[in-house]
């Protein structure tokens, strides 16, 4: 019985440590403010230069859409940062994440958007990249 109680305490301690680390990581993500993407009048696309550093390994963006629009998002390495394999995770206004379909995607497309804010998280595929530092280009097209 003592052995069981000892193992239970060890498992509980491990669970608390994992929860604390996960919570701290989630808070740091939440503390990063998302940049709102706007378009100049009459334009339908925009390319944003995103710098990924050790202090900022990912970037958050928000884009507002109307219902029924066509949205295309693509991320690719800048010519100077070819060793990076960037990825995007897009969350719709209703909370559906593109990570469920393909967590290593560099493209995202929706034929008929829902009205509201789409959140875009830009990062790198750490398994495929030689580094997670560098510059990537985020191209957004909405019609």
Residues 113 and 78 in one domain: yes
Residues 80 and 25 in one domain: no
Q: What is the 3-state secondary structure (H, E, C) of the chain?
A: CHHHHHHHHHHHHHHHHHHHHHHHHHHHHHHCCCEECCCCCCCCEEEEEEEECCCCCCEEEEEEECCCCCEEEEEEECCCCCCCCEEEEEECCCCCEHHHCCCCCCEEEECCCCCEEEEEEEEECCCCCCCCCEEEEEEEEEC
* CATH number of 66's domain: 2.60.120.380
Residues 110 and 95 in one domain: yes
Q: What is the tally of structural domains in the chain?
A: 2
Residues 50 and 98 in one domain: yes
Residues 126 and 88 in one domain: yes
pLDDT in tens, the chain (143 residues): 555 555 544 544 433 333 333 333 443 445 578 999 998 899 999 999 998 887 888 899 999 999 999 999 999 888 877 677 888 999 999 988 887 777 668 888 899 999 999 999 998 876 666 666 788 999 999 99
Domain span at residue 74 reads: 35-142
Residues 58 and 85 in one domain: yes
The whole-angstrom separation of Cα 110 and Cα 23 is 31
């Amino acid at each position: 019985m003592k052995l069981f109680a000892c193992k239970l305490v060890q498992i509980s301690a491990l669970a608390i440590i994992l929860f604390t680390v996960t919570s701290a990581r989630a808070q740091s993500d939440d503390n990063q403010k998302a940049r709102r993407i706007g378009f100049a009048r009459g334009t339908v696309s925009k390319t944003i230069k995103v710098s990924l550093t050790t202090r900022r390994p990912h970037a958050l963006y928000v884009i507002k859409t109307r219902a029924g629009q066509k949205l295309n998002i693509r991320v690719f390495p800048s010519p100077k940062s070819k060793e990076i394999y960037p990825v995007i995770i897009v969350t719709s206004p209703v909370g559906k994440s593109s990570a469920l379909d393909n967590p290593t995607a560099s493209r995202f497309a929706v034929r008929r958007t829902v009205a509201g804010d789409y959140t875009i998280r830009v990062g790198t595929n750490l398994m495929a990249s030689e580094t997670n530092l560098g510059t990537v280009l985020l191209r957004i097209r909405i019609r």
